[in-house]
Chain A
Amino acid sequence: MLDLNHISFQAESENGEITIINDISLHLDSNKFIVITGPNGGGKSTLAKLIAGIEPITDGQIVFDGTDITNMNITERARLGIGFAFQQPVRFKGLTVLDLLRIAAGKNISVSEACEYLSEVGLCAKDYIRREVNASLSGGELKRIEIATILARDVRLAIFDEPEAGIDLWSFQNLIRIFEKMQQSENGRTILVISHQERILNIADEIIVLSEGKILRQGSRDEILPDIIGTKYASDVCRKLSEEA
């Protein structure tokens, strides 16, 4: 479904040009649940943004479902079926949750259809549907609405950048259920998640460890997970949350 051929990304910094993604090649199959983990600053979020076209690659080629999308912009890639859930969702003054879900669905979906997506992410739909996606929503509510916008699109490749960041324990468990349900789609959808969390790694078909802009390891869950469990690449969010509580 997705091929990254020798892609690199350099960015300007105070100390001159730095390489964030360094000659990565990667093949992702259809109908997989793939988790990218690795240390902070290792290039995980950047890699996700390069796939969605939010940042342009400096070198290499990206092929999606047989189409070279290297020079396509965000909109064109979105229309081909790439979805992206942001780590820190943006707020909009005036746009309602319903407006956003209708934009995501690409059509004037009914209120009851929109409500179904909200219920999926554990929000009581009637309380939220007319609300503005503005500062009155908490970070956790915003994050769930962000996930609902991906559900409202029938994407081939769904990318989630740290979906667990900012959500509570209850919705974390719900999130796992959403991923499992999303994978049951009939279009061979692949889900690509950036996460350190053991519970998400636990349901992965495949795990990629990214560090310093390069792929350190790539393989099936059974191959990779035992080696990284308990390290910072695979932490137990539930234990952490209960310790904090």
Chain B
Amino acid sequence: MIPISNYLFLSTALMTIGVLGVLTRRNMVIILMSVELILNAVNINLVAFSHYWGTVHGQTFAIFIIADAAAEVAVGLGLLIALFRNKEVVNADQIELLKW
């Protein structure tokens, strides 16, 4: 029996790696992938607590999060394609239309 704090530490580490990717990478595709890492860290938490309490409510929430991740990726990649068609860039720090 593994204590639940181990799952929390794993999820913390995974989320920290995801935030690292969001904050430091330039390629927007990889930023979106890092967001996926963060969402997976949340899912690990939910499923671990679901296992702890012996109910499936946490797993149900994880399913909703996966659906949201799919929606987020679809819209995010659509934005990326629209941006690439107009400006030919994929790096987040080259998009500075609103910068003054």
Q: Decide if A and B are genuine partners.
A: no
Residues of A participating in the B interface, judged by any CB pair closer than 8 Å? none
Residues of B participating in the A interface, judged by any CB pair closer than 8 Å? none
